[in-house]
Structure 1
């Protein structure tokens, strides 16, 4: 990607990427508070302020790298702190706390699809093309984050959902993977493997959203 084109893409992608990651994390904190854990609330992490959630590698470096390389755009934020033992029913409530992030991304993907539909109706307007590009990136990053986080690998949301749903012995075995899960994810990200895993469900869901909204 040429430097001028990359700068233009970064400027358009900044808002959807920051909101995708910020709302994902804030959703975890909000649902955790609903089920009795006030940790994120007390630390001011239930916030729409992106600065509170930015991780230098996951929120800035990795999205820029994937934009430059032209691969699947994805990243992460600083995880919202959740004290699962403070939840009223730790094992059961963990499911909903973890699921909140991917669901937030799904709703944001649908929101950006609505904006894309609006941009198409404004054809010829000066703002229509940048809005359409921003909305398309918003759909893509939110679908990628949703599918990525549903992978059954702790500390991803899908891993914690699996820990919540599995019988105690299997759940304990899977939970022990968590300290190494991020290293596994980074390894997959720098190889074609992550693209092979995420590609089909991501493209399928994007095509479904485009069909529903006539994009």
Structure 2
């Protein structure tokens, strides 16, 4: 099925929006459960995407990357977390950071189920089955790439925060000082092709597993 530019946007926008905004909401829900109500007081414990959307990072950048590059990543408004309010700050920050990638993996599994149902509907002649199957495949890809990308051990990515939480306090403090350089480092890795070299093999393996899962179901 050859898709037009507008069809690609129509199929991609819902998976992208959900992947990025639910990722951020998950951080807030876990932080609240572990003793920090900051996100709750800011009205961020919601799945309403409007509360989380950063129009550039949640929609424009991911859509452009989805349309023109082999990778997709983006960002929403960061959910406020006060580590000092967590009952166990180090363990709590690890779990708060891990919640985002974890929920992306769960959503990828959900989109795999959508794909399976759509493919069964396609065999039965169901209307809109093919676009729904394509949306499911996009949802799988976007959620997996966001999970893998965010697990890179670079601040301010979730993987960086998880690493700081498990390092000895002195090393973690040293790493935290490098956070302002995190985005430039990611850009350099992207431009030089290092990011592709890291992500492509991992994504190939994960997508292979999900493809096998879809055929089993």
Quickly name the TM-score band, shorter chain normalised.
Answer: over 0.9
- Alignment partners' CA distance in 2, 1:131 and 1:190: 33
| 1:103 counterpart residue number | 102
| 1:33 counterpart residue number | 32
| 1:65 counterpart residue number | 64
Please list every run of at least 4 consecutive aligned residues from structure 1 whose deviation after the TM superposition is greater than 6 angstroms: none
- Structure 1 residues 46, 190: CA separation in 2 closer, same or farther (over 3 Å shift)? farther
- How high is the TM-score relative to the length of structure 1? 0.93
Deviation at 1:191, TM superposition (A): 4.6
| 1:149 counterpart residue number | 150
Runs of at least 5 residues in structure 1 that lack an aligned partner in the other structure? none
Which deviations, in whole Å up to 9, do the C-alpha atoms of 1:162-206 show, x marking residues without a partner?
001111121111111112212322343445332222111112111
- How high is the TM-score relative to the length of structure 2? 0.93
- Alignment partners' CA distance in 1, 2:50 and 2:204: 30
Runs of at least 5 residues in structure 2 that lack an aligned partner in the other structure? none
Q: How many pairs does the alignment contain?
A: 213
> Greater CA deviation, 67-76 or 87-96?
67-76
Secondary structure of 2:134 counterpart? helix
| 1:130 counterpart residue number | 131
**Alignment map for 1:46-85 (pairs within 5 Å):** 46-85=45-84
**Alignment map for 1:147-186 (pairs within 5 Å):** 147-186=148-187
Which deviations, in whole Å up to 9, do the C-alpha atoms of 1:95-145 show, x marking residues without a partner?
100000011000000000001010111122221101001000000000000
Which deviations, in whole Å up to 9, do the C-alpha atoms of 1:48-81 show, x marking residues without a partner?
1111111232212211221232321221111111
| 2:86 counterpart residue number | 87
